[in-house]
Amino acid sequence: MATSKSKGSPSRKLMHGLSSDVQLHIRGVPFSLNRELLAARSEKLAALLKENPEDDLSHLLGDIPTDSETFELVARFCHGFDVSLSPENVIKVLCLAHYLGMTEIKSSNNLAKKACFYFQNNILPSWNKCIKALKSAETILQQAADLSLVDACAESIITKVLQDPGLLGEPMRNVTTTDDDSENEENAYKPNVRRRLFVLDWKSEDLTLLSIALYEPIIRAMVLREVPLEYVASSLFHYLNKWVFPGAKGEDDDPSPYERNSQREIIEAVERLMPQERGLIPCSLLSQMLRSAIILDADTECKSGLEIRIGKQLDQATVKDLLIPAQGYAKEEQYDTESVKRILKNFYSNYTSKDTSGLVVVAELVDDFLAEVASDIDLKLNTFLSLAELSQAASGGTNRNSDGMYRAIDIYLDKHRYLTDREREEICRVLDCSKMSPEACEHAAQNEKLPVRVMVQILFSVQLKLKDTVAKRTPGGPNNRLLKLEADDEDARGTSSSEEEMMKAEMEKMGSKVIELEKECDMMRREIQRSNYQHRNQNGKTSMWKEMKRKLGCMTSMHETNCHVKKKKVHPR
């Protein structure tokens, strides 16, 4: 139909040589059409031709809602040729036929009627064809919406999903996986479109083909019509995986500004659509969304909504889920710890269970997170302490072990050697020495990075535990009956009583040493501050440490419980 194409096309031959041709340019493509045939089918073109007898009407059709391919189909129909309708062109043809006034009022068996019949009987009954038709309408969305064609397709899709939610994809399996089991994790969270047998047209199309402008209202309507939320969540994940995550993961080149804007719009819309129920969407996916939202500079509501969702099920998260890279040119730390703090606060504010196991799990998660980020040389002391205090406060009163916190503190002190004595004491303030395992205590007792006062506290805690152990094994304690079976004679009982008295004396001695040591530490600190550090030699340092160990009692008969004598490195489990 276009003069620049298809030299041997039937339409070109039919119109060639006619004296009453009219010239049109549609989206830059020229057309030469018969004036009378156009006027017989189109009410709009008939009026334009009557008012404007000149040959070229292009300037009057500048706002025509179509493309050159669709206009050629309409022109062929006007010239008496069959029009091949399909899911990819029927909505465009319908919109153009309506715009040109090609209705039954103008002439019988007109194009609008034929296209409407095809749409009603061939498109709406089919899942695949509805999606293809909607996809084709994205360039003329407003015109299609005004004619209720979008609503008709959407209603057909929603009705089918209500009958078979599996059309949206199988629900995600929210399983617990290890960091090494990445392949299992990927399969666990991957929704698969349900295959159907013996259906001729079944290679299932899914809603991820649609733009967010079409996808969002359809999904919102499904939620209102009570489509099972696990299937909705599956579709949302599939949509993100198609349109946002590949670029956000860095697998492709950096997206253009237009692509970034599109991805940001998508992730904000998907966050609004996400169900609020705990556990429907895995923490790993929510964390991946939050990273993408930060990278794409999504709005505050989007990022806050994702943090709240992660917080609600933080006891299902892993350390990897909390490692959110900091963004921006002025970033001071490697990870976005402020976001992690907000997530923690959301978890604690929403935790209503009487079972404290969830609190312990999250406290241990924070310990592991702190150990992971502690090696960041730019991690501020206040940031470390604020996270540790959140964990400590929420898990207070539980029987959780302090080894994880000790490990994080040890790594932080090792990577931040410039800290002052006061700062090192401040960071150790969050460590509960009484809940450290024997292995951790042994390591800490040899750890010269720890402040002396903290080491004394750990040694004192070891002595208290030892005292409790001896007390329980004496006559009258919980294990009295067992002791009588093992040692029933008077000598054994006398020995136990003697050991208890010796331990009591040692504990009193240790208490005095703690007080004395604190005074000595204060005096030494002042002495060091007054001294000239550049002229102080290594021998002086060594003798000072030996003097400190002597005051601790590490060079006396107490060496069995003090670990400075034998410098064996043992790491906490």
pLDDT in tens, 430-476: 888 888 888 888 888 888 899 888 888 888 777 777 766 666 655 55
Backbone dihedral region for residue 27 (phi beyond 0: left; psi -120 to 50: alpha; all else: beta): left
Instruction: Say which range, 33-47, 427-441, 551-565, has the weakest mean pLDDT.
Output: 551-565
Mean pLDDT over residues 331-337, rounded? Answer: 84
**CA–CA dist 492, 532 (Å, integer):** 58
> What's the pLDDT tens digit per position in 279-292?
899 999 999 999 99
Distance CA 349, CA 8 (A): 74
How many Å apart are CA 71 and CA 64, to the nearest integer? Answer: 10
What is the CA angle 14-19-21, rounded to 5?
70
Q: Which of these ranges, 55-69, 373-387, 548-562, has the smallest mean pLDDT?
A: 548-562
CA 395, distance to chain mean position in Å, is: 25
Residue with tokens 């659509």: 273
Which tokens in the block code for residue 62?
Answer: 């500048």
CB 235 within 8 A of CB 169: yes
For residue 531, the model assigns a pLDDT of: 52
Would you state the torsion angle of the CA atoms of residues 288, 293, 295, 298, taken in this order, to the nearest 10 degrees? 180
User: If you average pLDDT over residues 375-403, what whole number do you get?
Assistant: 85
Which residues, 6+ apart, have CB-to-CB distance to 410 below 8 Å? 443, 447, 449
Instruction: Give DSSP secondary structure letters for 518-546.
Output: HHHHHHHHHHHHHS-GGG--HHHHHHHHH
Smallest Cα–Cα separation from 174: which of 99, 230, 130?
230
Q: Give the list of residues 6+ apart from residue 366 with CB closer than 8 angstroms, or none.
A: 344, 387, 388, 390, 391
Give the residue extent of every domain in the chain: 21-160, 353-471
Residue corresponding to tokens 């159907």? 196
Q: What is the mean pLDDT of residues 41-54?
A: 84
Tell me the C-alpha to C-alpha distance, in Å, between residue 403 and each of 173, 432, 434, 475: 33, 9, 11, 33
What confidence score (pLDDT) does residue 268 get?
97
**Start-end of H helices in 296-402:** 300-312, 319-322, 337-350, 357-373, 381-394
pLDDT at 153 over 60: yes
Q: How far is CA 180 from CA 176, 208, 321, 366, 404, in A?
A: 12, 30, 14, 20, 21
Least reliable range by pLDDT among 240-249, 370-379, 528-537: 528-537
- Does residue 186 surpass a pLDDT of 50? no
Radius of gyration of the chain (CA): 38
Angle of the 68-78 helix axis to the 90-100 helix axis, nearest 10: 60
Does residue 210 contact residue 305 with C-beta atoms inside 8 Å?
no
d(CA 564, CA 267): 56
Tokens 């939610």 belong to residue = 165
Q: pLDDT class for 382, splitting at 50, 70, 90?
A: very high
Query: What is the three-class DSSP state of 285?
Result: helix
Place of tokens 């002229």: 535
For residue 211, CA distances in Å to 208, 259, 263, 354, 540 come to 8, 13, 11, 45, 74
100-122 pLDDT, tens digit each: 999 999 989 899 999 999 999 99
Q: What dihedral do alpha carbons 151, 152, 153, 159 form, nearest 10°? A: 100
Q: Do 394 and 363 touch, CB atoms closer than 8 A? A: yes
Torsion of the alpha carbons at 107, 109, 115 and 118, rounded to the nearest 10: 160
Which residues does 519 contact at the CB level (< 8 Å), separation at least 6? none
Q: pLDDT at position 498, please?
A: 63
Q: What is the pLDDT of residue 497?
A: 60
User: How many H helices and E strands in the chain?
Assistant: 27, 2
CATH architecture of 21-160: 2-Layer Sandwich (3.30)
